Structure 1
Amino acid sequence: MALDAQPIPSLVDPFGRTIDYVRVSVTDRCNLRCIYCMSEQMQFLPKQELLTLEELDRLCSAFVRRGVRHLRLTGGEPLVRRGIMDLVRALSRYLNSGALDELTLTTNGVRLAQYADDLAAAGVRRVNVSLDSLDRATFARIARGDFLDRVLEGIAAAKVAGLRVKINTVALKHDNAAELADMIRWAHAGGMDITLIETMPLGLIEEDRTDQFLSLAEVRRDLESIWTLQELSDRTGGPARYVRLAETGGRLGFITPLSHNFCASCRRVRVTCTGTLYMCLGQDSAVDLREPLRASRDDTLLDAAITRAIALKPKAHDFALPVRGAAPAVARHMSVTGG
Structure 2
Amino acid sequence: MTPYDAASPQVAKRPPPLVDAFGRTVSYLRLSVTDRCDLRCVYCMAEHMVFLPKVEVLSLEELDRLASAFIALGTRKLRITGGEPLVRKGVMGLIGGLSRHLATGALEELTLTTNGTRLAEFAGGLAEAGVKRINVSLDTLKPELFRRLTRGGDVAKVLAGIDAAQRAGLRVKLNAVALRNDNAAELPELIRWAHGRDLDVTLIETMPLGEVEADRTDQYLSLTVLRRELESFWSLSDIPLQTGGPARYVRVAETGGRLGFITPLSHNFCEACNRVRVTCTGTLHTCLGREDASDLRAVMRAGASDDDLADAIRLAVDGKPKGHDFQIERAEPAVARHMSTTGG
**Into which bin does the TM-score normalised by the smaller protein fall?**
over 0.9
Q: Is 2:48 aligned against 1:44?
A: no
5+ long unaligned stretches in structure 1: none
Number of equivalenced pairs: 337
**Cα offset for 1:321?**
3.2
AA aligned to 1:84 is: V
Note the C-alpha offset of 1:133.
0.3
Determine the structure 1 residue equivalent to 2:122.
115
User: Superposed, which structure 2 residues align to 1:1-339 within 5 Å?
Assistant: 2-3=5-6, 4-6=8-10, 7=13, 8-296=15-303, 298-323=305-330, 326-339=331-344
Aligned-partner residue type, residue 292 of structure 2:
S
Secondary structure in 2 matching 1:124: coil
Supply the distance in 2 between the matched residues of 1:109 and 1:307 (Cα, whole angstroms). 34
Name the SS for the 1:264 alignment partner: helix
Q: Deviation at 1:141? A: 0.7
**Do 2:39 and 2:153's aligned partners in 1 also have CA atoms closer than 8 Å?**
no
What does the per-residue CA deviation read over 1:107-141, in whole Å, with 9 as the maximum and x for residues that have no partner? Answer: 00000000000000010001100000000011111
Counterpart AA for 2:222: S
TM-superposed deviation, 1:211? 1.1
Equivalent AA in structure 2 for residue 227 of structure 1: W
Q: Give the Cα–Cα distance (whole angstroms) in 1 for the partners of residues 304 and 211 of structure 2.
A: 38
Output the CA distance in 2 between the equivalents of 1:306 and 1:244. 38
Residue 280 of structure 1: how far off its partner (Å): 0.2
2: CA distance, partners of 1:68 / 1:338: 17
Report SS of the residue matched to 1:105. strand
Give 2:206's aligned amino acid.
T
Moved more, 212-221 or 71-80: 212-221
Q: Is the 8 A contact 2:77 2:107 kept in 1?
A: yes
Q: Which runs of 4+ in 1 moved over 4 A?
A: none
> Aligned Cα RMSD in Å?
1.0
What SS does structure 1 have at the residue aligned with 2:156?
helix
SS in 2 for 1:13: coil
The separation in 2 between residues aligned to 1:81 and 1:62, in whole angstroms, is 21
| 8 Å contact from structure 1 (residues 213, 322) kept in 2 | no
Unaligned runs of 5+ in 2: none
Residue pair 2:216, 2:328 contacting (<8 A) in 1 also: no
Whichever residue aligns with residue 337 of structure 2, its letter is: R
Which amino acid counterpart does residue 49 of structure 2 have in structure 1?
Answer: M
Aligned-partner Cα distance in 2 for 1:2–1:180 = 45
SS in 2 for 1:154: helix
What is the deviation of 1:292? 1.2
Tell me the distance in 1 between the aligned counterparts of 2:5 and 2:325. 38
Q: 1:297 offset after TM fit, Å?
A: 5.6
Contact preservation (8 Å) 2:207, 2:328: no
Distance 1:337 1:146 in 2: 22
In the aligned structure 2, how far is the partner of 1:166 from the partner of 1:100? 21
Q: TM-score, normalised by structure 1?
A: 0.98
* One-letter amino acid of the counterpart of residue 171, structure 1: A
